[in-house]
Structure 1
Amino acid sequence: MNYHFDFRFLEGSFGALLDGLKVTIELAVLSNVMGLVLGFLLCLLAMSRLTFVRWPAQLFIEFFRCTPALLQIVWFFYCIPIMVDVFIDPITMGVLALGLNLTAFNAEAYRAGVQAVPKEHLDACVALGLKPWQRTVYVVLPQALRSAMPVLMTNGIGSLQQSALVAIVAVADLMYVGKSLATEAYRPLETYTVVALIYFALSLPVAKLVHAIERRQDLAIKR
Protein backbone atom coordinates (compact mmCIF):
# COMPACT_ATOMS: atom_id res chain seq x y z
CA MET A 1 0.00 0.00 0.00
CA ASN A 2 1.64 3.22 -1.21
CA TYR A 3 -1.06 5.59 0.06
CA HIS A 4 0.22 8.28 2.44
CA PHE A 5 -2.20 9.76 4.93
CA ASP A 6 -2.26 13.54 5.06
CA PHE A 7 -4.71 15.19 7.45
CA ARG A 8 -3.33 18.71 6.98
CA PHE A 9 -5.87 19.56 4.30
CA LEU A 10 -8.58 19.41 6.98
CA GLU A 11 -7.04 22.26 8.99
CA GLY A 12 -9.18 24.84 7.24
CA SER A 13 -12.30 22.66 7.25
CA PHE A 14 -12.92 22.24 10.96
CA GLY A 15 -15.45 25.07 10.88
CA ALA A 16 -17.52 23.23 8.28
CA LEU A 17 -17.24 19.97 10.21
CA LEU A 18 -18.33 21.77 13.37
CA ASP A 19 -21.39 23.17 11.59
CA GLY A 20 -22.25 19.68 10.38
CA LEU A 21 -21.72 18.32 13.88
CA LYS A 22 -24.19 20.86 15.26
CA VAL A 23 -26.84 19.67 12.80
CA THR A 24 -26.13 16.03 13.70
CA ILE A 25 -26.47 16.74 17.42
CA GLU A 26 -29.68 18.70 16.81
CA LEU A 27 -31.16 15.81 14.83
CA ALA A 28 -30.11 13.27 17.47
CA VAL A 29 -31.34 15.24 20.49
CA LEU A 30 -34.70 16.25 19.05
CA SER A 31 -35.43 12.79 17.61
CA ASN A 32 -34.56 11.21 20.96
CA VAL A 33 -36.87 13.55 22.86
CA MET A 34 -39.61 12.74 20.37
CA GLY A 35 -38.91 9.01 20.59
CA LEU A 36 -38.89 8.95 24.40
CA VAL A 37 -42.19 10.80 24.77
CA LEU A 38 -44.15 9.34 21.87
CA GLY A 39 -42.68 5.89 22.46
CA PHE A 40 -44.36 5.57 25.84
CA LEU A 41 -47.67 6.89 24.52
CA LEU A 42 -47.49 4.47 21.60
CA CYS A 43 -46.70 1.65 24.02
CA LEU A 44 -49.87 2.39 25.99
CA LEU A 45 -51.91 2.42 22.78
CA ALA A 46 -50.37 -0.87 21.62
CA MET A 47 -51.29 -2.47 24.96
CA SER A 48 -54.84 -1.13 24.98
CA ARG A 49 -57.72 -3.57 25.39
CA LEU A 50 -59.59 -1.75 22.62
CA THR A 51 -58.92 -3.45 19.29
CA PHE A 52 -59.47 -0.31 17.17
CA VAL A 53 -56.81 1.45 19.28
CA ARG A 54 -54.37 -1.43 19.62
CA TRP A 55 -54.18 -2.56 15.99
CA PRO A 56 -53.22 0.79 14.40
CA ALA A 57 -50.55 1.27 17.07
CA GLN A 58 -49.12 -2.20 16.48
CA LEU A 59 -49.22 -1.63 12.71
CA PHE A 60 -47.28 1.62 13.18
CA ILE A 61 -44.66 -0.19 15.26
CA GLU A 62 -44.24 -3.05 12.82
CA PHE A 63 -44.07 -0.75 9.79
CA PHE A 64 -41.23 1.34 11.19
CA ARG A 65 -39.39 -1.67 12.64
CA CYS A 66 -39.68 -3.77 9.48
CA THR A 67 -38.74 -1.23 6.80
CA PRO A 68 -35.26 0.28 6.25
CA ALA A 69 -34.62 3.61 7.97
CA LEU A 70 -33.07 4.93 4.75
CA LEU A 71 -36.28 4.19 2.85
CA GLN A 72 -38.32 5.94 5.54
CA ILE A 73 -36.16 9.06 5.32
CA VAL A 74 -36.36 9.18 1.52
CA TRP A 75 -40.14 8.62 1.67
CA PHE A 76 -40.64 11.45 4.14
CA PHE A 77 -38.48 13.88 2.18
CA TYR A 78 -39.93 13.21 -1.25
CA CYS A 79 -43.41 11.74 -0.80
CA ILE A 80 -44.92 13.85 1.98
CA PRO A 81 -44.40 17.19 0.13
CA ILE A 82 -46.07 15.64 -2.93
CA MET A 83 -48.99 14.26 -0.90
CA VAL A 84 -49.76 17.37 1.19
CA ASP A 85 -48.28 19.98 -1.16
CA VAL A 86 -46.42 21.61 1.73
CA PHE A 87 -42.67 22.18 1.95
CA ILE A 88 -41.20 21.38 5.36
CA ASP A 89 -37.77 22.48 6.57
CA PRO A 90 -35.20 19.70 5.88
CA ILE A 91 -34.03 19.49 9.49
CA THR A 92 -37.63 19.31 10.73
CA MET A 93 -38.31 16.56 8.21
CA GLY A 94 -35.19 14.72 9.35
CA VAL A 95 -36.25 14.95 13.00
CA LEU A 96 -39.72 13.70 12.06
CA ALA A 97 -38.40 10.69 10.13
CA LEU A 98 -35.78 9.74 12.71
CA GLY A 99 -38.10 10.45 15.63
CA LEU A 100 -40.94 8.28 14.35
CA ASN A 101 -38.53 5.45 13.63
CA LEU A 102 -37.15 5.72 17.16
CA THR A 103 -40.68 5.94 18.56
CA ALA A 104 -41.50 2.49 17.22
CA PHE A 105 -38.39 0.88 18.72
CA ASN A 106 -38.79 2.69 22.04
CA ALA A 107 -42.42 1.58 22.25
CA GLU A 108 -41.25 -2.03 22.29
CA ALA A 109 -38.66 -1.22 24.96
CA TYR A 110 -41.31 0.47 27.08
CA ARG A 111 -43.68 -2.47 26.62
CA ALA A 112 -41.11 -4.85 28.05
CA GLY A 113 -40.68 -2.46 30.98
CA VAL A 114 -44.43 -2.16 31.56
CA GLN A 115 -44.85 -5.93 31.49
CA ALA A 116 -42.10 -6.20 34.12
CA VAL A 117 -44.08 -4.08 36.63
CA PRO A 118 -45.18 -6.48 39.41
CA LYS A 119 -48.90 -7.19 39.44
CA GLU A 120 -48.92 -6.52 43.19
CA HIS A 121 -48.04 -2.87 42.52
CA LEU A 122 -51.00 -2.51 40.18
CA ASP A 123 -53.27 -4.18 42.73
CA ALA A 124 -52.03 -1.71 45.32
CA CYS A 125 -52.97 1.16 42.99
CA VAL A 126 -56.50 -0.18 42.79
CA ALA A 127 -56.66 -0.61 46.56
CA LEU A 128 -55.52 2.97 47.07
CA GLY A 129 -58.16 4.21 44.66
CA LEU A 130 -55.72 5.73 42.17
CA LYS A 131 -57.17 6.84 38.87
CA PRO A 132 -55.82 5.19 35.67
CA TRP A 133 -53.73 8.24 34.74
CA GLN A 134 -52.29 8.43 38.27
CA ARG A 135 -51.37 4.75 38.14
CA THR A 136 -49.71 5.24 34.76
CA VAL A 137 -47.77 8.40 35.68
CA TYR A 138 -46.73 7.63 39.25
CA VAL A 139 -46.36 3.84 39.27
CA VAL A 140 -46.06 2.33 35.78
CA LEU A 141 -43.96 4.98 34.01
CA PRO A 142 -41.14 5.27 36.62
CA GLN A 143 -40.68 1.49 36.84
CA ALA A 144 -40.99 0.94 33.11
CA LEU A 145 -38.51 3.75 32.44
CA ARG A 146 -36.00 2.31 34.88
CA SER A 147 -36.25 -1.17 33.39
CA ALA A 148 -36.13 0.05 29.80
CA MET A 149 -33.40 2.67 30.28
CA PRO A 150 -30.47 0.60 28.90
CA VAL A 151 -32.45 -0.29 25.76
CA LEU A 152 -33.70 3.28 25.35
CA MET A 153 -30.16 4.62 25.58
CA THR A 154 -28.92 2.01 23.12
CA ASN A 155 -31.70 3.03 20.74
CA GLY A 156 -30.59 6.63 21.23
CA ILE A 157 -27.06 5.74 20.11
CA GLY A 158 -28.55 4.02 17.08
CA SER A 159 -30.57 7.15 16.31
CA LEU A 160 -27.39 9.24 16.41
CA GLN A 161 -25.73 6.90 13.96
CA GLN A 162 -28.80 6.68 11.72
CA SER A 163 -28.87 10.48 11.51
CA ALA A 164 -26.00 10.11 9.02
CA LEU A 165 -28.56 8.75 6.55
CA VAL A 166 -30.06 12.22 6.05
CA ALA A 167 -26.93 13.08 4.08
CA ILE A 168 -28.47 11.24 1.14
CA VAL A 169 -31.22 13.88 0.95
CA ALA A 170 -28.71 16.75 1.19
CA VAL A 171 -29.21 17.73 4.83
CA ALA A 172 -25.94 19.40 5.82
CA ASP A 173 -25.10 17.16 8.77
CA LEU A 174 -21.67 15.84 9.72
CA MET A 175 -21.79 13.02 7.18
CA TYR A 176 -22.88 15.31 4.35
CA VAL A 177 -20.10 17.81 5.11
CA GLY A 178 -17.57 14.98 5.30
CA LYS A 179 -18.75 13.59 1.97
CA SER A 180 -18.41 17.04 0.37
CA LEU A 181 -14.89 17.54 1.74
CA ALA A 182 -13.82 14.08 0.60
CA THR A 183 -15.10 14.79 -2.91
CA GLU A 184 -13.46 18.20 -3.14
CA ALA A 185 -10.04 17.15 -1.82
CA TYR A 186 -9.97 13.59 -3.20
CA ARG A 187 -9.04 12.45 0.32
CA PRO A 188 -11.79 10.02 1.37
CA LEU A 189 -9.64 7.96 3.75
CA GLU A 190 -8.62 10.91 5.91
CA THR A 191 -12.03 12.60 5.80
CA TYR A 192 -14.14 9.58 6.61
CA THR A 193 -11.68 8.51 9.30
CA VAL A 194 -12.11 11.85 11.07
CA VAL A 195 -15.90 11.70 10.67
CA ALA A 196 -15.95 8.14 12.05
CA LEU A 197 -13.85 9.20 15.05
CA ILE A 198 -16.28 12.05 15.78
CA TYR A 199 -19.26 9.67 15.76
CA PHE A 200 -17.26 7.28 17.93
CA ALA A 201 -16.45 10.03 20.42
CA LEU A 202 -20.13 10.94 20.67
CA SER A 203 -21.36 7.36 21.06
CA LEU A 204 -18.74 5.86 23.37
CA PRO A 205 -19.64 7.79 26.57
CA VAL A 206 -23.31 6.86 26.19
CA ALA A 207 -22.38 3.21 25.56
CA LYS A 208 -20.24 3.20 28.72
CA LEU A 209 -23.13 4.73 30.67
CA VAL A 210 -25.46 1.99 29.38
CA HIS A 211 -23.03 -0.69 30.62
CA ALA A 212 -22.83 1.05 34.01
CA ILE A 213 -26.62 1.14 34.33
CA GLU A 214 -26.90 -2.53 33.34
CA ARG A 215 -24.30 -3.53 35.96
CA ARG A 216 -26.11 -1.52 38.59
CA GLN A 217 -29.43 -3.16 37.73
CA ASP A 218 -27.83 -6.61 37.81
CA LEU A 219 -26.43 -5.92 41.28
CA ALA A 220 -29.83 -4.66 42.45
CA ILE A 221 -31.51 -7.87 41.20
CA LYS A 222 -28.91 -10.06 42.97
CA ARG A 223 -29.63 -8.29 46.24
Structure 2
Amino acid sequence: MSYTFDFASVFRNMAPLWDGLLVTIQLTIAANVIGLTLGFVLALLVMSRWRAIRLPVTLFIEFFRCTPAIIQIVWFFYCVPMLFNVFLGSVTMGIMALGLNLAAFNAEAYRASIQAVPREQLDAGVALGLTPFQRVLYIILPTAVRNSVPVLLTNGIGTFQQSALVAIVAVQDLMYQGKTLATLTYRPIETFTIVALVYFAVSFPVSQIVGYLERRREVLAS
Protein backbone atom coordinates (compact mmCIF):
# COMPACT_ATOMS: atom_id res chain seq x y z
CA MET A 1 0.00 0.00 0.00
CA SER A 2 1.49 3.33 -1.09
CA TYR A 3 -0.70 5.51 1.11
CA THR A 4 1.28 7.73 3.53
CA PHE A 5 -0.46 8.57 6.78
CA ASP A 6 -0.35 12.17 7.91
CA PHE A 7 -2.14 12.72 11.20
CA ALA A 8 -0.30 15.98 11.78
CA SER A 9 -2.43 17.79 9.22
CA VAL A 10 -5.53 16.81 11.19
CA PHE A 11 -4.05 17.61 14.60
CA ARG A 12 -3.23 21.11 13.37
CA ASN A 13 -6.93 21.66 12.67
CA MET A 14 -8.55 20.09 15.74
CA ALA A 15 -10.49 23.19 16.84
CA PRO A 16 -13.56 22.43 14.66
CA LEU A 17 -13.67 18.88 16.04
CA TRP A 18 -13.73 20.16 19.62
CA ASP A 19 -16.52 22.57 18.66
CA GLY A 20 -18.40 19.67 17.12
CA LEU A 21 -17.86 17.56 20.23
CA LEU A 22 -19.45 20.30 22.34
CA VAL A 23 -22.51 20.25 20.08
CA THR A 24 -22.64 16.45 20.31
CA ILE A 25 -22.48 16.58 24.11
CA GLN A 26 -25.18 19.25 24.14
CA LEU A 27 -27.41 17.05 21.99
CA THR A 28 -26.72 14.02 24.16
CA ILE A 29 -27.36 15.71 27.51
CA ALA A 30 -30.58 17.41 26.37
CA ALA A 31 -31.86 14.23 24.72
CA ASN A 32 -31.13 12.26 27.88
CA VAL A 33 -33.04 14.76 30.01
CA ILE A 34 -36.04 14.28 27.72
CA GLY A 35 -35.56 10.52 27.54
CA LEU A 36 -35.24 10.02 31.29
CA THR A 37 -38.25 12.13 32.26
CA LEU A 38 -40.63 11.42 29.39
CA GLY A 39 -39.66 7.76 29.37
CA PHE A 40 -40.89 7.33 32.94
CA VAL A 41 -44.17 9.09 32.16
CA LEU A 42 -44.67 6.88 29.11
CA ALA A 43 -43.97 3.77 31.18
CA LEU A 44 -46.70 4.74 33.64
CA LEU A 45 -49.17 5.53 30.86
CA VAL A 46 -48.50 2.32 28.93
CA MET A 47 -49.39 0.38 32.09
CA SER A 48 -52.69 2.23 32.51
CA ARG A 49 -55.83 0.17 32.94
CA TRP A 50 -57.59 2.38 30.40
CA ARG A 51 -57.19 1.21 26.82
CA ALA A 52 -57.80 4.73 25.46
CA ILE A 53 -54.58 5.84 27.19
CA ARG A 54 -52.58 2.66 26.82
CA LEU A 55 -53.08 2.12 23.07
CA PRO A 56 -51.79 5.47 21.69
CA VAL A 57 -48.82 5.42 24.07
CA THR A 58 -47.99 1.88 22.98
CA LEU A 59 -48.16 2.94 19.33
CA PHE A 60 -45.87 5.90 20.08
CA ILE A 61 -43.30 3.68 21.78
CA GLU A 62 -43.38 1.01 19.10
CA PHE A 63 -43.09 3.58 16.31
CA PHE A 64 -39.89 5.03 17.72
CA ARG A 65 -38.48 1.62 18.62
CA CYS A 66 -39.29 -0.02 15.28
CA THR A 67 -38.25 2.66 12.80
CA PRO A 68 -34.67 3.75 12.00
CA ALA A 69 -33.44 6.74 13.98
CA ILE A 70 -32.17 8.34 10.78
CA ILE A 71 -35.71 8.33 9.35
CA GLN A 72 -37.03 9.96 12.52
CA ILE A 73 -34.38 12.69 12.34
CA VAL A 74 -35.07 13.43 8.68
CA TRP A 75 -38.83 13.44 9.34
CA PHE A 76 -38.47 16.00 12.11
CA PHE A 77 -36.24 18.26 10.05
CA TYR A 78 -38.27 18.24 6.87
CA CYS A 79 -41.82 17.12 7.65
CA VAL A 80 -42.60 18.98 10.89
CA PRO A 81 -42.03 22.45 9.37
CA MET A 82 -44.10 21.54 6.29
CA LEU A 83 -46.99 19.89 8.14
CA PHE A 84 -47.26 22.02 11.24
CA ASN A 85 -45.63 25.29 10.15
CA VAL A 86 -43.20 24.99 13.07
CA PHE A 87 -39.69 26.24 12.43
CA LEU A 88 -37.10 25.56 15.10
CA GLY A 89 -33.32 25.62 15.14
CA SER A 90 -31.48 22.62 13.76
CA VAL A 91 -30.00 21.73 17.15
CA THR A 92 -33.44 21.94 18.78
CA MET A 93 -34.93 19.65 16.15
CA GLY A 94 -32.08 17.22 16.67
CA ILE A 95 -32.67 17.21 20.41
CA MET A 96 -36.38 16.54 19.91
CA ALA A 97 -35.80 13.65 17.52
CA LEU A 98 -33.11 12.02 19.67
CA GLY A 99 -35.01 12.70 22.90
CA LEU A 100 -38.25 11.10 21.72
CA ASN A 101 -36.36 8.12 20.35
CA LEU A 102 -34.57 7.66 23.66
CA ALA A 103 -37.80 8.12 25.63
CA ALA A 104 -39.37 5.19 23.79
CA PHE A 105 -36.49 2.86 24.68
CA ASN A 106 -36.27 4.14 28.26
CA ALA A 107 -40.01 3.60 28.68
CA GLU A 108 -39.51 -0.13 28.17
CA ALA A 109 -36.66 -0.18 30.68
CA TYR A 110 -38.78 1.69 33.23
CA ARG A 111 -41.78 -0.56 32.59
CA ALA A 112 -39.79 -3.70 33.35
CA SER A 113 -38.44 -2.10 36.53
CA ILE A 114 -41.87 -0.90 37.64
CA GLN A 115 -43.28 -4.39 37.21
CA ALA A 116 -40.47 -5.67 39.43
CA VAL A 117 -41.47 -3.41 42.34
CA PRO A 118 -42.61 -5.74 45.16
CA ARG A 119 -46.34 -5.65 45.71
CA GLU A 120 -45.71 -5.45 49.44
CA GLN A 121 -44.14 -1.99 49.05
CA LEU A 122 -47.19 -0.69 47.21
CA ASP A 123 -49.50 -2.20 49.81
CA ALA A 124 -47.45 -0.54 52.54
CA GLY A 125 -47.89 2.78 50.76
CA VAL A 126 -51.64 2.30 50.69
CA ALA A 127 -51.62 1.36 54.36
CA LEU A 128 -49.72 4.56 55.16
CA GLY A 129 -52.38 6.59 53.39
CA LEU A 130 -50.20 7.74 50.50
CA THR A 131 -52.02 9.09 47.47
CA PRO A 132 -51.40 7.46 44.05
CA PHE A 133 -49.08 10.34 43.13
CA GLN A 134 -47.14 9.95 46.38
CA ARG A 135 -46.80 6.20 45.81
CA VAL A 136 -45.37 6.89 42.36
CA LEU A 137 -43.01 9.58 43.68
CA TYR A 138 -41.75 7.87 46.83
CA ILE A 139 -42.02 4.14 46.04
CA ILE A 140 -42.21 3.38 42.33
CA LEU A 141 -39.88 6.08 40.95
CA PRO A 142 -36.84 5.43 43.22
CA THR A 143 -37.07 1.65 42.77
CA ALA A 144 -37.63 1.86 39.01
CA VAL A 145 -34.72 4.24 38.49
CA ARG A 146 -32.38 2.19 40.68
CA ASN A 147 -33.21 -1.07 38.90
CA SER A 148 -32.99 0.38 35.41
CA VAL A 149 -29.81 2.48 35.78
CA PRO A 150 -27.59 0.09 33.74
CA VAL A 151 -30.08 0.02 30.86
CA LEU A 152 -30.61 3.78 31.03
CA LEU A 153 -26.87 4.41 30.88
CA THR A 154 -26.52 2.00 27.96
CA ASN A 155 -29.33 3.79 26.13
CA GLY A 156 -27.62 7.08 26.90
CA ILE A 157 -24.41 5.86 25.29
CA GLY A 158 -26.43 4.76 22.28
CA THR A 159 -27.89 8.25 21.97
CA PHE A 160 -24.40 9.77 22.12
CA GLN A 161 -23.39 7.55 19.22
CA GLN A 162 -26.64 8.01 17.28
CA SER A 163 -26.24 11.78 17.51
CA ALA A 164 -23.79 11.43 14.62
CA LEU A 165 -26.82 10.93 12.38
CA VAL A 166 -27.82 14.60 12.69
CA ALA A 167 -24.83 15.43 10.50
CA ILE A 168 -26.94 14.50 7.46
CA VAL A 169 -29.20 17.49 8.16
CA ALA A 170 -26.27 19.89 8.62
CA VAL A 171 -26.16 20.04 12.42
CA GLN A 172 -22.55 20.94 13.11
CA ASP A 173 -21.80 18.13 15.52
CA LEU A 174 -18.62 16.08 15.78
CA MET A 175 -19.44 13.94 12.75
CA TYR A 176 -20.33 16.95 10.59
CA GLN A 177 -17.12 18.74 11.53
CA GLY A 178 -15.19 15.55 10.82
CA LYS A 179 -16.68 15.30 7.33
CA THR A 180 -15.83 18.95 6.68
CA LEU A 181 -12.28 18.56 7.95
CA ALA A 182 -11.76 15.41 5.89
CA THR A 183 -12.80 17.33 2.79
CA LEU A 184 -10.54 20.29 3.54
CA THR A 185 -7.45 18.27 4.40
CA TYR A 186 -7.99 15.42 1.92
CA ARG A 187 -7.25 13.09 4.84
CA PRO A 188 -10.45 11.07 5.41
CA ILE A 189 -8.70 8.06 6.94
CA GLU A 190 -6.84 10.08 9.54
CA THR A 191 -9.78 12.39 10.24
CA PHE A 192 -12.39 9.69 10.75
CA THR A 193 -9.93 7.62 12.78
CA ILE A 194 -9.55 10.53 15.19
CA VAL A 195 -13.32 11.12 15.22
CA ALA A 196 -13.86 7.45 16.05
CA LEU A 197 -11.31 7.64 18.87
CA VAL A 198 -13.10 10.68 20.32
CA TYR A 199 -16.41 8.80 20.35
CA PHE A 200 -14.64 5.83 21.92
CA ALA A 201 -12.95 7.97 24.57
CA VAL A 202 -16.32 9.29 25.73
CA SER A 203 -18.30 6.03 25.44
CA PHE A 204 -15.82 3.57 26.92
CA PRO A 205 -15.69 4.96 30.49
CA VAL A 206 -19.49 5.03 30.64
CA SER A 207 -19.68 1.43 29.38
CA GLN A 208 -17.29 0.41 32.16
CA ILE A 209 -19.55 2.10 34.72
CA VAL A 210 -22.50 0.17 33.29
CA GLY A 211 -20.58 -3.09 33.65
CA TYR A 212 -19.65 -2.27 37.23
CA LEU A 213 -23.24 -1.44 38.16
CA GLU A 214 -24.52 -4.67 36.59
CA ARG A 215 -21.95 -6.75 38.46
CA ARG A 216 -22.74 -4.94 41.71
CA ARG A 217 -26.46 -5.53 41.26
CA GLU A 218 -25.83 -9.24 40.64
CA VAL A 219 -23.78 -9.44 43.84
CA LEU A 220 -26.46 -7.70 45.87
CA ALA A 221 -29.17 -9.90 44.38
CA SER A 222 -27.29 -13.12 45.22
- Normalising by the residue count of structure 2, what TM-score does the alignment of the two structures yield? 0.98
C-alpha offsets along residues 185-206 of structure 1, whole Å, 9 cap, x if unaligned? Answer: 2211100000000000010111
Q: Establish whether residue 185 from structure 1 lines up as the match of residue 185 from structure 2.
A: yes
The aligned amino acid for 1:112 is: A
1:76-95 to structure 2, matched below 5 A, reads: 76-95=76-95
1:32-43 to structure 2, matched below 5 A, reads: 32-43=32-43
Calculate percent identity across the aligned residue pairs: 61
> The residue matched to 2:177 in structure 1 has which SS?
helix
Instruction: Name the residue aligned to 1:171.
Output: 171
In structure 2, distance between residues paired with 1:2 and 1:126: 74
In structure 1, distance between residues paired with 2:129 and 2:200: 49
Instruction: Name the residue aligned to 1:216.
Output: 216
For structure 1, the 5+ residue unaligned runs are: none
Contact 2:31 2:98 in 1 (8 A): yes
In structure 2, distance between residues paired with 1:37 and 1:85: 27
Q: Establish whether residue 22 from structure 1 lines up as the match of residue 29 from structure 2.
A: no
Shift of 1:83: 0.9
Contact 2:102 2:159 in 1 (8 A): yes
The aligned amino acid for 1:53 is: I
Shift of 1:109: 0.3
In structure 2, distance between residues paired with 1:11 and 1:175: 16
> The residue matched to 2:2 in structure 1 has which SS?
coil
CA RMSD of aligned residues (A): 0.7
The aligned amino acid for 2:22 is: K
In structure 1, distance between residues paired with 2:151 and 2:5: 38
In structure 1, distance between residues paired with 2:108 and 2:147: 12
Instruction: Name the residue aligned to 1:13.
Output: 13
Instruction: Name the residue aligned to 1:59.
Output: 59
Q: How many residues align?
A: 222
- Normalising by the residue count of structure 1, what TM-score does the alignment of the two structures yield? 0.98
The aligned amino acid for 2:160 is: L
Contact 2:76 2:97 in 1 (8 A): yes
Instruction: Name the residue aligned to 1:119.
Output: 119
Contact 2:10 2:187 in 1 (8 A): no
Which deviates more from structure 2 when the two are superposed, residues 9-18 or residues 99-108? 9-18
Instruction: Name the residue aligned to 2:195.
Output: 195
C-alpha offsets along residues 123-149 of structure 1, whole Å, 9 cap, x if unaligned? Answer: 111111110001001000101111111
For structure 2, the 5+ residue unaligned runs are: none
The aligned amino acid for 2:163 is: S
> The residue matched to 2:117 in structure 1 has which SS?
coil
Shift of 1:181: 0.9
Contact 2:161 2:199 in 1 (8 A): yes
